[in-house]
Amino acid sequence: MQVIRYPDSSSWNTLLQRPVMDTSTLEAKVAAILEEVKKDGDAAIRKFAAAFDKVTLTDIRVPATAFEEAAAALDPALKAAIQQAAKNISAFHSAQKEQSKVIETMPGVECWRKSVAIQKVGLYIPGGSAPLFSTILMLGIPAKLAGCKEIVLCTPSLHPAILYTAQLVGIDKVFTIGGVQAIGAMAYGTETVPQVYKIFGPGNQYVTCAKQLVNKSGLAIDMPAGPSEVAVLADDSCIPDFVAADLLSQAEHGPDSQVLLVTTSEQVIANVTNALEAQLARLPRKDIATGALENSKMILVSDTDTAVELLNAYAPEHLILACDKAAEIAEKVTDAGSVFIGNFTPESAGDYASGTNHTLPTNGYARAYSGVSLDSFVKKITFQQISPSGLQQIGATIEAMAAAEGLDAHKNAVSIRLSSI
């Protein structure tokens, strides 16, 4: 990791830039795949599965028997862990339900807002080197709690943990489709895959580009997303081995991930560097983590206030506060996806089982976006009801404003009613 000492605030924008990928030809390639899926449906799905995943798809939809076999094959200890995580995630997201409240803004004028589930949602779970069954919990549980009528899950992985978790959450429409073609199938629908109204889930740069392209054409997505990242604020009260482990937990996601250590102590840099070297040598995904560390930085600042200001400017996906008075410092955080307070709160707790959602904004989008929650699976519809006496109370206000804007038909919609009362 590169070490930067006492950078001037004028250099922060450059210093805090994420790794940039060359996407000059990416959009055209992705758009061509999406168009073919839109036009040819299942035939295109099978074609791209053979070309990209080297598999021959017969049944695109996973049969019911596969879920039973997965449950029987999975290690009981892992089943118990998944069940506990599901319980915690359900408890946290259940508490996010809102009750409608009628507000009488004037006598006879009642307004309220109601949460209504998005009827059809699509979840994407990548394949790759790790079966991300935890993401099914993070997306499937709030979708079910919100009351989504149809939940479609696409994944190229048939790992038993993937199928067991889908069954546990209550998702039975699972399709063995990966990559751009999975996003296209859910966005446009095929003979086999239902079309959805909003797509959720992580993926590589191709999947991310596909989600952004279908979003441009009018389909909702969870959020803009890029490679995973973590920032750690540490002082002399931190435990260097813990900090190193947290940095590596994100670095092992992929060589395009980024980790950031911000500290007020030169000694912390030395200690964490030693701990990183020792732990990295033992990691099975050492080469991947090494690539990420090459994109990453340790930044020494003069005081905690400067550290917090710098971290808010960075707006990390995950922020760990491994420092004295961590809870007080957390109150000063304005831009982060999820915050982990104290030496014994590892980021991996949020990734798996504490209850919060791990689908979070990356690449600085935490300045304006929230992570996935129950709200992500509903839309808020406003309602209003005005009585005759209520219209008499508010009518003159509406007429005056409509007239001032030169919208006579708007004014008349009120005036004609008032004259009938």
**pLDDT block averages, 10 residues each, the chain of length 421:** 95 89 84 97 96 91 95 96 98 96 97 97 87 95 98 95 97 96 98 98 91 95 88 98 96 90 97 96 93 93 97 97 97 98 97 96 94 97 98 98 98 98 91
Q: How far apart are CA 208 and CA 212, in angstroms?
A: 6
Asked whether residue 379 is assigned to any structural domain, the reply reads no
Same domain, yes or no: 139 and 73:
yes
Query: Of the candidates 6, 337, 61, 27, which has an alpha carbon nearest to the alpha carbon of residue 212?
Result: 27
Q: Are residues 121 and 185 in the same domain?
A: yes
Residue 256, domain member (yes or no):
yes
Instruction: Give the residue numbers marked as catalytic.
Output: 317-318
pLDDT at position 224 is 80
Q: How far is CA 401 from the centre of its chain?
A: 41
159 is in an annotated binding site: no
* Domain boundary pick from 161, 193, 221: 221
Same structural domain, 205 and 265: no
What is the spatial distance between Cα 320 and Cα 336, in angstroms, rounded to a whole number? Answer: 10
Q: How far apart are CA 73 and CA 67, in angstroms?
A: 10
Structure tokens of 171?
């998702």
pLDDT of residue 255: 87
d(CA 155, CA 135): 11
Predicted local confidence at residue 130, as pLDDT: 72
Contact 110, 386 (CB under 8 A): yes
Residue 110 assigned to a binding site: no
Residue 396 lies inside a defined structural domain of this protein? yes
The last residue of a domain, from among 221, 243, 272: 221
**For residue 122, which amino acid is it?**
G
Same domain, 178 and 249: no
Residue 309 is assigned to a ligand binding site: no
380 domain residue, yes or no:
no
CA distances from 346 to 146, 233, 277, 363, 390 (A): 28, 13, 19, 21, 55
Instruction: Say if 381 falls within a structural domain.
Output: no
* Calpha distance 247→259 (Å, rounded): 6
Q: Which pTM does this prediction carry?
A: 0.93
Same domain for 193 and 242, yes or no, is no
Q: Look up the domain containing 400 and give its range.
A: 387-418
Beta-carbon neighbour count of residue 79 at 10 Å?
Answer: 16
343 among annotated binding-site residues: no
Same domain, yes or no: 239 and 298:
yes
Q: Output the pLDDT for position 396.
A: 97
Is 351 annotated as ligand-binding?
Answer: yes
Q: What ranges in 23-178 are assigned the alpha helix state H? A: 26-40, 42-48, 64-73, 76-94, 133-146, 160-169
- 363 lies in some domain: no
Answer whether residue 377 is part of any domain: no
Pairing, β 109-117 against β 120-124 = unpaired
Q: Answer yes or no: is 159 within a domain.
A: yes
Residue 311: CATH number of its domain: 3.40.50.1980
Same domain, 207 and 236: no
Domain end position, chosen among 198, 221, 244: 221
Does residue 194 share a domain with residue 96? yes
The predicted pLDDT at position 225 comes to: 79
Cβ atoms within 10 Å, residue 103? 10
Give the helix/strand (H/E) hosting 103: strand 103-106
Claim to verify: residue 185 and residue 233 sit in the same structural domain: no
Q: Are residues 76 and 98 in the same domain?
A: yes
How, if at all, do strands 378-386 and 109-117 pair? antiparallel
358 is in an annotated binding site: no
**Number of domain units in the chain:** 3
CB 265 within 8 A of CB 234: yes
What is residue 129's predicted lDDT score, i.e. its pLDDT?
67
Given a contact cutoff of 8 angstroms between Cβ atoms, the answer to whether 248 and 62 are in contact is: no
